[in-house]
Structure 1
Amino acid sequence: MADTVFDFFEHYELPTPTLGIDEVCELLQEGFGLRARVTELGSQQDQNFLLRGENDSPIGVLKLSNPVFSEAEIALQDLAATTVAERNPGTRTPRVVQGPRGPMSMWLNTSQGRIHGRVIEYMAGSTLMGSGYLSPATVARMGELAATVSVALSDVRHPASSRVLQWDLRHADRVIGALLSDEPDLDVREFCSAIAESAGRQLQPIRSLLPVQIGHFDITDDNVIAASTPGALPDAVIDFGDVAESWAVSEIAVTLSSLLHHDGVTPADAVPAVRAFHAIRPLGEIEVDALWPLVALRGVVLVLSGRAQVRLDADNSYADEALDREFRILEHAASVPFEVMAQVIRRAVGFAPRAQPTWNMAPLLGGVGTPVILDAGTTAPLNDEGRWLHQGALTDAALTELDGGAAAVVAPAWTPRLTGAPARTPDAPATVPTALTVWLARDTPIDVPPGGRLTCTESGVSVLVDQHIVNFTGVPDSTAQRGLLPARIPIEIQFTRADAGTVPLRVAAAYAPGWRCLAGDPAPVVGMPPSDVDDVDDTLARRERVIAEVQEHYYAQPPRIERGWREYLVDTDARVYLDMVNNVASVGHAHPKIAEAAHRQLRLLNTNSRFNYAAITAFAERIAATLPDELDTVFFVNSGSEATDLAIRVAMAATGRRDIVAMREAYHGWTYASDAVSTSIADNPNALATRPDWVHTVDAANSYRGVHRGPDATRYATDAVRVIDDLGVAGTPPAGFICEPYFGNAGGVALPDGYLKQVYAAVRRHGGVTISDEVQVGYGRLGDWFWGFEQQGAVPDVVAVAKSVGGGQPIGAVITRREIADRYRSGGYFFSSTGGSPLSSVIGLAVLDIIEQDGLQENARVVGGHLKSRLVVLAEKHSIVGTVHGSGLYLGLEFVRDHATLEPATEETHAICDRLLELGVIMQPTGDYQNVLKIKPPLCVSRVSVDYFVDALDRVLTTGW
């Protein structure tokens, strides 16, 4: 019996051992001389227990193998685990533990018969079990582990490898046939049967050509382990219970299937695992074609086996809990045709695509001449000013062309269309049309070629010709029966293989290259030349070759953004993202009033600011009017860095001194002076150590994580005053003091009440100048206050502002009192070529008009207040949230690992931002520890959008990142 290997078809029913804890403890002592605290773990067909010693540290895992498995099979499992560990030291695998009497592996006489027991090493960390989110890096690591094990076992030979398991995909058709007959649910039976038959047809011509080897064949989310540190990737493979000989490609097929039940994982999201597998263990082209049918077959076997196991073993909670996620695996595996996924995978691993259908006959539409081509893509003028949000925009544009005399208007296939695309979607929407859309000036007959057959369908008309089908969707019955395409309505023309089945009219960009093996370019069907579709975008690679590395971009693999509108950003695949971080676009992206003002001024004049023109005067007057009366004199520059730099120079000139006091952990810019007073270690890890001797710092007045917290935060002002007074005593009174009036760099942290009043008084007592850096927080963003210093009830001597001022145009300003500005003359004169240029001035005026006329400060107050209240509720729900900072539409959500120590959750914050991008939200971290979400969207953001943001964030914090 010990030499007989298992054959599933002789043992359909595999009830697990069900020994009690007390008996297991006795067996451990009698068999292995081991005393341990025992906790049962889950298993579908074996019985597993975690063993802990007296100090509660893990000893190992006791595996009681199902009695049907022979000693030779158990030896094969141990050999495989040892071989992988020896050949890949970086991959942890469990070995048999050495006990008081030697290796703890033996046959045990139990109340349920003779059962083999082994104590194998405990692998520290945690599995990916459950249905939480898996990052792309984790998905790729799963592929790497599968490949590493496959390569390690590729030359292993063993007599027990001929065992016949229900999980061996070579036998999937037999397993499914055996289990289907006992499946009581008719819907499940029919669903599984249809998928299995389709997969079988795909595999039949190639199954005999697939390479075979010994493999693990169960490297799944349940059987890999990652260290319990943030961001750790799986590095251990456990449970070698399914080791056998099978198709080598089954290794990655099984791994892929285990990913598909996780939150947000679609078939396309699993592709990084294939790419990683292929990089280590190259796949053959036949294996690529077989891969997705095998994933689907694995899903069918999981569903039917799991349901059968639960019927057999009603108390097996492990199997019962897996039923829902196993069915999700099958649904996802079947959601994309096998040929489509094969094309997607071929593209991912660098294989040439399969040929797509081509039209080589005469056009089916005659007499339409040369159609007008409508561009509905991301950058198309058709989509300007938010017209892409209107479902009828494309047809309206087409009808305008027809009214102008066009015989036909066409929107091409296979080019992403922004027109009509949804605005807020957690998944990449279907924006790529597989069909050409045509509008005709008059009813037009379909010229069916000889040998062709025209058929009326539920959605229109189809023409079958030469093993291809042309579908005309949207044709009403009144004209379909006569073979006519009606005038002035959109007709979708799709050209497919006759055996393609149903091809969606729109597909997501990730799958578009795959669908092109089933559906071709319909342009020649209407007499147009084939469309030139370029699926390769090398923009990022070219950028990284020519732009300095230190000038970073958001995200490791960023979408290519080419359009903005209000609070939205749009990529070249026509996916719309919610922009929750962009305070540069203060009044919203692509505001028509700004575009109009810029367009008009560029047609008139744009020159340097030393000429006399009206706009610069009007703009300066408007800015000064928003400030206290004494702040009446304006300098114009181009950026926040220039503004804070100039403010510092103004203070030095006004006092004849050089020493400046600045708050720590702040960022003020990249010019020499603004960088000198910037002490954020996120922007410069050596910030404090590299300050020039004329810069003196005071503690960051952060009442949440600073040196003084809560009620003690009032001490920050006292401490800062002491630093200023000490400088005076030392004979180096400061020229000025600079800080943000609302601590923006830390995520919108309010300064303690009265802080600026006390500090400003101390500075002025020593003859210094006070500077308010309003670059991030000013201009109505805080909602209740137009300027940040207003929250403190203190008026500075100098205000520096930028970002919001230009709504995307580089505009900065420094505003001060006339007598302070006049003292700058002591150093010569000031000149900025384009600061305050005609173009910048009219744009600046337009921004102020929009803030006032569109009520954007009030929107910041109301919508920002609603957003903050929802974030507070979120903080109560998720322990990773430390606190909510900010006011209006300058908020910060701080993440911590421990509420007592406030250990920053830096890695988690970056991962959360990456996950939000997948859900369609642009977000970035801030703060010295990069553990705060800087929530500062365009001031026009709607309540619906901020609700979407919080819902997406809640999903991330619930399901993982």
Structure 2
Amino acid sequence: MTDVRDEPGLDRVRGFDFFTAGELPAPNLPAAEVAAILADEWRLAVELRPLGSQQDQNFLALGVEGEQAGAPVGVVKVTNPAFTATELAAQDAAALRIAEHAPDLRVATTTTDAAGRPRSVIADTSDGLRSIRVISFLDGGTLNGGAYLAPGTVARLGELAAQVGLALADFEHDGLDRVLQWDPRFADRVVDLLAPHHPDAGRRRRVTDAATAAWARLAALADELPQQAVHLDLTDDNVVRSPGGLPDGLIDFGDVTRSWAVSELAITISSVLHHAGARPVSVLPAVRAFHALRPLAPAEIAAVWPLVVVRGAVLVVSGEHQVQLDAGENAYAAEGIEREWRIFEQATSVPIDVMTTVIADALGVDAAALPGASPRPADLVQLDRLVHGLEPGRVAMLDLSIMSPAVDAGAWLEGELLESRLAQAALASGADAAVLPAGIPRLTLSRAREQVAPATVPTGLDVWFRTATALVSPGRGVVTTSGTGLVAVALDGGLRLDLDATRADAPHRAIANAPSSGTKLAAGTPLGTLAPGARLRVRLQHADAPPVPHAVQPETATGWLALTADPAPLLGLAAAGPDAASARDASDAAELLERREASLAEVQEHYYAAPPRIERGWREHLLDVDGRAYVDMVNNVTPLGHGHVGVASAVNAQLRRLNTNSRFHYGAVVEYAERLAALAPDGLDTVFLVNSGSEATDLAIRIALAATGRRDVVAILEAYHGWTYASDAVSTSIADNPDALTTRPDWVHGVDAPNPFRGVHRGADAARYAPEAAARIMALAAQGRPPAAFIAETFFGNAGGIPLPDGYLAGVYTAVRATGGLAIADEVQAGFGRLGHWFWGFEQQHVVPDIIAVAKAAGNGYPLGAVITTREIAAAFRSQGYFFSSTGGSPASSAAGLAVLDAFRDERLQENALRVGTRLKSRLEELATRHPLIGAVHGLGLYLGVEFVRDRGNLEPATAETAAICDRLLELGVIMQPTGDHLNVLKTKPPLCLDDESADFFVAMLDRVLTEGW
């Protein structure tokens, strides 16, 4: 094109001009014709497969001869005839520039001629003269499609955008002088031109309204936005990931032009928004990564989200127009319609002001200092009181935050009922008013089993008054809305006051005598009388801001709260201030993590790279400081569930009376030992009480050594038993200790892990494990080293809840006893009814051990473990001196243990483990029929493992996938962690109080992850 036109802020346009080009249909050549041109001009024998393009025509070229048969040899681009040769040269030059400046990136460049120059051919085709190029093929695949993008991938997109921006910062070329419909500098004109073609009037209006508002912001910032050469299309479709890794390749330079530099970032993050699970805040990793390499100027930060909005608008109107233009023959454009609408919907789902503040906050920048930022509402005007005569000392401040005892025992699930009940109790106790403050996450606003974080941060305060209370205007203004329960006032100085009153017994009488809409007010003018006991919601917000919801999600709370002012001073109370609001700030969790890592040993690890700050639990739910509830599918430490009232009450009562060590004489330790021994098989009637599972297995080994006078122990490989000296010695899991197999002491002898799924013997051959282990024991005895004991988990927990082969323990126990040794059953995980069918794991194997080690479930998280054995074996330990435990067997731990046993009986937890566990396993097995990544579902009861494999034939462990799946599950509200030596098994061992709804939620979320990606 050689058309020239004048544009504001531009010199004469020498290249393509979208606004003078008229219709722009994509080339539509037959593949066979293009293949013939390649054979003539490039001497390439290829098969062509169509690739998508909005305005060009692209093919993947596959070799058909020799070693190249079926392999990609390049991408063929038939360029739209509207673009000039100078523009194509600019694209090739820009690709080479990026390749030179960012050698770690793979860049799809045009193949060259003998002189090393990018080569294109102007071919006389059935569709007229067409420019054809062959571009290098980058393997690994794009991010095309709607699959979920992990935060690490999103961050990498931001890095790529920054690297390209830096590489092209000083790139100049005549071919950059063009006017593209994708250039956000012309977004307003593009929308005006193409919106009338949109067939849906409702969608059309939404697009034009949003684009107009966003463009007004960009127009005000335009002079402060630096311009440079940009790729302008660094989207999910145009980046290529390294095989199995993060994006590291760039393709499609057809939109290279000069534009605002920040457009590179805005266009990149826009493409994230249509992917599964994406929300506006999903783009923050990319924004942070971009800013770390190429810092954004204040005006650019202010422009990011308006650019995202106009990008979404342009995509919607352009996509619809292109489909009509190509008469339904452009499948790429047609398939993109809903994808582009989702981008627009996500871009406009949060107001620009809110997202701009969220972005600035993520970058550590004060949003109030950005160009064009509105003043904070708190700085606009000084207001008088809404209520006269209220004394702060007569106001009860209610607390429903994560730390409040008011939400104990699951009371938070009562929601507003709990809020009202607490308020009425405070008023009944003599308070003149009860107040729930603004800005502090309320647990009563949380919900169990939610896929996204609930809106837990209130943007205003709630207040109840004991008596009928007169409300007055705190300043000059005018009533904009009036009703029996709602009054809104536009106050002079740029604030809006919203009063929303409800009264359970008489909702139509919540506010009496409210002034009518349009009434002009002076400070102190009556606004009506609030009925006694009614709830009044008070919110102050910027008058020009969009309506602010009652509560917002923590992830965007900083943006929403920037539009509001704390109404507390209207009641004569101090504003909550930044300290009170800090609990909602994600940096609170990050700061605490830094302190943790500075004060705790590095080896004392934590779940997740960026863990949520968990400060409360209830049954199978864990809650973070923002009020997000997670279903806990991994915490076998608390079989009764979190926050169990019976255990807490028992321990609290005992601590008030007495707590000391087990050498003193008191009733709780005796009663607990008696009841625990009664649960064991006959003959196992003597109990040692300790602090933990590690101590229990350590003590069990020491007792066996003392009882037999021997020093050798046989243990199963790939198992974990604890971290004390003896329990660690018999632990051979390389997941817990990578050097486990090479650092065992010589008195530990390993036998193959009896894993019928991926062990050395599989399926029916698993029957060989027991005879081979027995033979090893006999061989040790023949060598003069008969073992003191054989120790094993009675259910192969570390491998993911795999039942031992039938008869395994019977065969091995017989062998060890035949040589004079003892059988130790590690029941730390399997014991206490977790298997559902049996209280002890060894019952599943129809055997009785000589020594039982148990913990975890015994105290429901309180430090308590036990060793149970015979009187005779226990007596042999006397040769080792005295034994006592400061915490295990103390009055408090014994009280905890008794409360746990009571709860197991009264709440029928073993029965629940069987019923819910059977349902859960069945539903997981159904998932396996639809998702090949699931190699097997192991286990019984609520002791399950979902094992992921890349290939069901060779069982290659899907280790990286398992870690990523756990991270995605966390986003969706499920706590899950990997287990097994290959860390490829979901450790599915939830509290035994797990109900059907939570089990189903876990399955549904796992199904979603396996369907959408991780």
- Tell me the TM-score range normalised by the shorter chain: over 0.9
Structure 2 residue corresponding to 1:767, chosen from 809, 813, 820: 820
TM-score by length of 1: 0.98
Structure 2 residue corresponding to 1:710, chosen from 738, 758, 763: 763
Instruction: Within 5 Å, give how 1:574-589 maps onto structure 2.
Output: 574-589=627-642
Task: Answer yes or no: is the 8 Å Cα contact 1:393–1:420 preserved in 2.
Answer: no
Instruction: Find out whether 1:752 has 2:777 as its counterpart.
Output: no
SS at match of 1:82: helix
Alpha-carbon offset, residue 99 of structure 1: 6.8
Which residue identity does 2:697 align to in structure 1?
A: T
Alpha-carbon offset, residue 810 of structure 1: 1.1
Instruction: Find out whether 1:380 has 2:404 as its counterpart.
Output: yes
CA distance in 2, matches of 1:64, 1:193: 33
User: 2:137 maps to which residue?
Assistant: 122
1:427-472 per-residue CA deviation (whole Å, 9 max, x = no partner) reads: 1110000010111112222222453223434660012222211100
CA distance in 2, matches of 1:210, 1:517: 24
> What is the Cα-based RMSD across aligned positions, in Å?
1.3
User: 1:272 maps to which residue?
Assistant: 285
User: 1:293 maps to which residue?
Assistant: 306
Instruction: Find out whether 1:311 has 2:315 as its counterpart.
Output: no
Instruction: Find out whether 1:474 has 2:513 as its counterpart.
Output: no
CA distance in 1, matches of 2:182, 2:38: 31
Alpha-carbon offset, residue 420 of structure 1: 3.8
- Which runs of 5 or more residues in structure 2 are unaligned? 4-13, 369-374, 515-527
Task: Answer yes or no: is the 8 Å Cα contact 1:356–1:516 preserved in 2.
Answer: no
Which residue identity does 2:307 align to in structure 1?
A: L
Alpha-carbon offset, residue 870 of structure 1: 0.3
User: 1:356 maps to which residue?
Assistant: 376
Alpha-carbon offset, residue 882 of structure 1: 0.3
Which residue identity does 2:192 align to in structure 1?
A: G
1:238-283 per-residue CA deviation (whole Å, 9 max, x = no partner) reads: 1111100011111111011100011111111111111111111111
Which residue identity does 1:669 align to in structure 2?
A: G
Instruction: Find out whether 1:520 has 2:573 as its counterpart.
Output: no
CA distance in 1, matches of 2:538, 2:512: 14
Structure 2 residue corresponding to 1:180, chosen from 185, 191, 195: 195
Structure 2 residue corresponding to 1:30, chosen from 40, 65, 87: 40
CA distance in 2, matches of 1:649, 1:2: 91
Structure 2 residue corresponding to 1:622, chosen from 666, 670, 675: 675
Q: Which moved more, 1:210-219 or 1:32-41?
A: 32-41
1:95-125 per-residue CA deviation (whole Å, 9 max, x = no partner) reads: 1224789754221111101111110110010
User: 2:524 maps to which residue?
Assistant: none
Which residue identity does 1:896 align to in structure 2?
A: V
SS at match of 2:268: helix
Instruction: Find out whether 1:920 has 2:973 as its counterpart.
Output: yes
Structure 1 residue corresponding to 2:602, chosen from 520, 542, 549: 549
Which residue identity does 1:352 align to in structure 2?
A: D
User: 2:522 maps to which residue?
Assistant: none
User: 1:801 maps to which residue?
Assistant: 854
User: 2:350 maps to which residue?
Assistant: 336
Which residue identity does 1:503 align to in structure 2?
A: V
Instruction: Within 5 Å, give how 1:840-879 maps onto structure 2.
Output: 840-879=893-932
Task: Answer yes or no: is the 8 Å Cα contact 2:752–2:773 preserved in 1.
Answer: yes
SS at match of 1:883: strand
SS at match of 2:106: coil
Instruction: Find out whether 1:464 has 2:490 as its counterpart.
Output: yes
Alpha-carbon offset, residue 709 of structure 1: 0.2
Specify whether residues 878 and 449 from structure 1 end up closer, same or farther in structure 2 by C-alpha distance, changes over 3 A only. Answer: closer
CA distance in 2, matches of 1:577, 1:684: 29
CA distance in 2, matches of 1:418, 1:706: 47
Task: Answer yes or no: is the 8 Å Cα contact 1:141–1:233 preserved in 2.
Answer: yes
SS at match of 1:767: coil
CA distance in 2, matches of 1:419, 1:36: 64
CA distance in 2, matches of 1:449, 1:412: 19
Specify whether residues 906 and 474 from structure 1 end up closer, same or farther in structure 2 by C-alpha distance, changes over 3 A only. Answer: same
Alpha-carbon offset, residue 827 of structure 1: 1.9
Q: Give the percent of matched residue pairs that are identical in Structure 1 and Structure 2.
A: 55
CA distance in 2, matches of 1:724, 1:529: 74
Alpha-carbon offset, residue 474 of structure 1: 2.6
Which residue identity does 1:436 align to in structure 2?
A: L
Alpha-carbon offset, residue 405 of structure 1: 1.2
Instruction: Within 5 Å, give how 1:181-580 maps onto structure 2.
Output: 181-229=196-244, 232-313=245-326, 314-354=328-368, 355-358=375-378, 360-370=382-392, 371-391=395-415, 392-449=417-474, 451-457=476-482, 460-466=486-492, 467-474=494-501, 478=509, 479-482=511-514, 483-532=528-577, 533-534=581-582, 535=585, 536-537=587-588, 538-580=591-633
SS at match of 1:293: helix
CA distance in 1, matches of 2:445, 2:534: 16
Task: Answer yes or no: is the 8 Å Cα contact 2:385–2:474 preserved in 1.
Answer: no
1:162-216 per-residue CA deviation (whole Å, 9 max, x = no partner) reads: 2000000000000000002222321121111110111022222211221111100
Task: Answer yes or no: is the 8 Å Cα contact 2:197–2:317 preserved in 1.
Answer: no
Task: Answer yes or no: is the 8 Å Cα contact 1:289–1:342 preserved in 2.
Answer: yes
Alpha-carbon offset, residue 34 of structure 1: 1.6
Q: Which moved more, 1:727-736 or 1:358-367?
A: 358-367
CA distance in 1, matches of 2:969, 2:481: 45
Which residue identity does 1:385 align to in structure 2?
A: A
Q: Which moved more, 1:238-247 or 1:351-360?
A: 351-360
User: 2:948 maps to which residue?
Assistant: 895
Specify whether residues 12 and 546 from structure 1 end up closer, same or farther in structure 2 by C-alpha distance, changes over 3 A only. Answer: farther
CA distance in 2, matches of 1:219, 1:190: 28
SS at match of 1:909: helix
Task: Answer yes or no: is the 8 Å Cα contact 1:33–1:101 preserved in 2.
Answer: no
TM-score by length of 2: 0.93
Task: Answer yes or no: is the 8 Å Cα contact 1:2–1:71 preserved in 2.
Answer: no
Task: Answer yes or no: is the 8 Å Cα contact 1:278–1:349 preserved in 2.
Answer: yes
Alpha-carbon offset, residue 481 of structure 1: 3.8
CA distance in 1, matches of 2:532, 2:208: 44
CA distance in 2, matches of 1:402, 1:36: 83
Alpha-carbon offset, residue 367 of structure 1: 2.3
SS at match of 1:564: strand
CA distance in 2, matches of 1:566, 1:184: 51
Task: Answer yes or no: is the 8 Å Cα contact 1:80–1:153 preserved in 2.
Answer: yes
CA distance in 1, matches of 2:445, 2:907: 26
Task: Answer yes or no: is the 8 Å Cα contact 1:769–1:797 preserved in 2.
Answer: yes
Which residue identity does 2:408 align to in structure 1?
A: D
Specify whether residues 22 and 353 from structure 1 end up closer, same or farther in structure 2 by C-alpha distance, changes over 3 A only. Answer: closer
Alpha-carbon offset, residue 134 of structure 1: 0.6
Which residue identity does 2:98 align to in structure 1?
A: V
The count of aligned residue pairs is 959
CA distance in 1, matches of 2:894, 2:617: 22
1:6-63 per-residue CA deviation (whole Å, 9 max, x = no partner) reads: 0000124211111112101111112222211211111111111111222222111011
SS at match of 2:944: strand
CA distance in 2, matches of 1:181, 1:663: 73
1:380-429 per-residue CA deviation (whole Å, 9 max, x = no partner) reads: 11101110000200110000011111111100000000014211111111
